[in-house]
């Protein structure tokens, strides 16, 4: 009897709709399998790493972060297992007293220097120029870039450097545990770690020079200093909005290896505070998520289809749709469990999360083409005549 009902209700979908349900459900099931495999393959840091040999430079680019820099710097200064540590903070033309807050937080610590950033040359973005200046002033064998909204665990730097050396990689991006509080954050933020766990073949991505097989998170990024300079440093990615991903690509293009690793126990980050910050924060960069505005729109269509089609099929009685819907939710649960996120009830909103992310991609592409995207008071570059590449 249930089979008859299911067949009749599926009849409300046109043939093309049934094909889309079947295709997207198959993709969701494959993504679940890949998420599970990556959850096992994701490199974990050592629980008790040995003290670091050699000098380490922790680099903090900050702009209008007076409310964040003290807590971030306190966690950096408390690091254990790094005998030769220098900490450089670069104030990137802040207007809120960030430099003064950083000096107060340094509390006379001789390991800490607060630098004043120079005006960016033509062709540079503010963040890439700040990172380049920090790297230029750094003397460490390993460079550890940290954003001001990151809170490091007490042995995070030692564990991250140990992970870099023990893995034989030239760059590691230990992905911090993402803190999401408000409904808007909880709807979108978990897709960050889900996206690479579900789609990126981690081991292959570490060595492949293909640009599409790269992921990173600039919130916490650890790189061998010699390899960083051989790859051109941030000068090689001076105009890239997604400078973290671009830096991984530059390192691999220069013959190095690198990629995402597990930073769940090493750091936490509340990337955006509330929906307006989420919306505007993603607007600055999602236009390039697919490699170009055009490909990003194709990506947005795919995300929307993955969110809507299995759900619509399941509601129409399709077993394939129900399987695809369950697979999508399950992949979110696996990603959340592996990266320290909240699994329930947030994973159940996976279809809505995908649709919202797709809408944010479209909004970002439109803003990029109009040339009205801004971040931290600076206008971001746009293509000539408002047209995408």
- Is 49 inside any structural domain? no
Distance, CA of 326 to CA of 309 (rounded, Å): 12
| Domain match, 160 and 203 both | yes
Residues sharing a CB contact under 8 Å with residue 329, sequence separation 6 or more, in sequence order: 347, 348, 350
CATH number, domain of 104, equals 3.90.550.10
Strand segments, DSSP code E, in the chain are 56-62, 85-91, 112-116, 142-146, 150-152, 171-178, 220-224, 258-269, 374-375, 378-379
| Domain match, 341 and 242 both | no
- Is 50 inside any structural domain? no
Range of the domain at 62: 56-274
* End residue of a domain, out of 253, 274, 295: 274
- Is 331 inside any structural domain? yes
What is the DSSP pairing of strand 220-224 with strand 171-178? Answer: antiparallel
| Domain match, 175 and 102 both | yes
| Domain match, 289 and 353 both | yes
| pLDDT at res. 8 | 41
| pLDDT at res. 376 | 79
| Domain match, 85 and 16 both | no
- Is 27 inside any structural domain? yes
Collapsed DSSP state (helix, strand, coil) of residue 323: helix
pLDDT digits (tens, 9 = 90+) for 228-240: 999 999 999 999 9
- Is 202 inside any structural domain? yes
- Is 6 inside any structural domain? no
| Domain match, 247 and 343 both | no
Task: Give the tokens for residue 270.
Answer: 């509340």
| pLDDT at res. 107 | 95
| Domain match, 231 and 268 both | yes
| Domain match, 306 and 177 both | no
| Domain match, 202 and 65 both | yes
Residues of the chain with pLDDT under 50: 1-10, 384-389
Distance, CA of 284 to CA of 365 (rounded, Å): 9
| Domain match, 92 and 240 both | yes
Collapsed DSSP state (helix, strand, coil) of residue 171: strand
* End residue of a domain, out of 228, 243, 274: 274
| pLDDT at res. 16 | 66
- Is 4 inside any structural domain? no
- Is 48 inside any structural domain? no
* End residue of a domain, out of 249, 274, 299: 274
Distance, CA of 299 to CA of 192 (rounded, Å): 15
User: Total domain count for the chain?
Assistant: 2
The DSSP-derived string for 190-256 is: THHHHHHHHH--HHHHHH---TTS----TTEEEEEHHHHHHTTGGGGGTT-SSHHHHHHHHHHHTT-
The residue to which tokens 């089979």 are assigned: 3
| Domain match, 282 and 330 both | yes
Buried b (16+ CB within 10 A) or exposed e, 56-70: bbbbbbbbbbbebbb
| pLDDT at res. 383 | 58
| Domain match, 378 and 289 both | yes
The residue to which tokens 């200093």 are assigned: 225
């Amino acid at each position: 009897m249930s089979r008859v009902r299911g067949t009749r209700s599926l009849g409300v979908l046109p043939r093309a709709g049934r094909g889309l349900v079947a295709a997207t459900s198959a993709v969701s099931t494959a993504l679940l399998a890949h998420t599970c495999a990556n959850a096992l393959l994701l490199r974990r840091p050592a629980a008790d790493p040995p003290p670091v040999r050699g000098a380490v430079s922790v680099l903090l680019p900050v702009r209008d972060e007076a409310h964040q820099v003290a807590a971030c710097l306190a966690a950096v200064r408390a690091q254990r297992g790094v005998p030769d540590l220098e900490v450089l903070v670069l104030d990137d033309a802040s207007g809120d007293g960030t430099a003064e807050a950083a000096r107060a937080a340094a509390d006379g610590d001789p390991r800490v220097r607060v630098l004043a950033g120079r005006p960016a040359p033509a062709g540079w973005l503010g963040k890439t120029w700040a990172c380049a200046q920090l790297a230029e002033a750094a003397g460490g064998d390993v460079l550890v870039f940290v954003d001001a909204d990151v809170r490091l665990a007490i042995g995070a730097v030692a564990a991250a450097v140990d992970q870099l050396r023990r893995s034989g990689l030239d760059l590691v991006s230990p992905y911090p545990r993402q803190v999401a509080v408000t409904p808007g954050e909880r709807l979108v933020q978990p897709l960050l770690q889900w996206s690479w766990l579900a789609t990126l073949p981690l081991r292959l991505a570490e060595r492949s020079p293909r640009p599409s097989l790269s992921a990173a998170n600039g919130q916490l990024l650890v790189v061998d200093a010699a390899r960083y300079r051989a790859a051109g440093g941030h000068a090689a990615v001076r105009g890239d909005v997604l400078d973290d991903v671009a830096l991984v690509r530059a390192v691999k293009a220069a013959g190095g290896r690198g990629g995402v690793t597990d930073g769940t126990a090493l750091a936490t980050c509340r990337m955006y505070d509330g929906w307006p910050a989420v919306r505007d924060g993603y607007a600055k960069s999602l236009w390039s998520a697919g490699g170009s505005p055009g490909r990003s729109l194709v990506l947005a269509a795919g995300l929307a289809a993955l969110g809507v089609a299995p759900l619509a099929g399941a509601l129409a009685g399709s077993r394939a749709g129900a399987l695809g819907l369950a697979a999508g939710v399950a992949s979110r649960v696996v990603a959340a469990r592996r990266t320290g996120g909240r699994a329930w009830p947030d994973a159940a909103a996976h279809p809505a999360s995908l649709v919202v992310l797709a809408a944010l991609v479209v909004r970002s592409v439109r803003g990029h083409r109009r040339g009205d995207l801004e971040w931290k008071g600076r206008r971001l570059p746009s293509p000539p005549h408002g047209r995408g590449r």
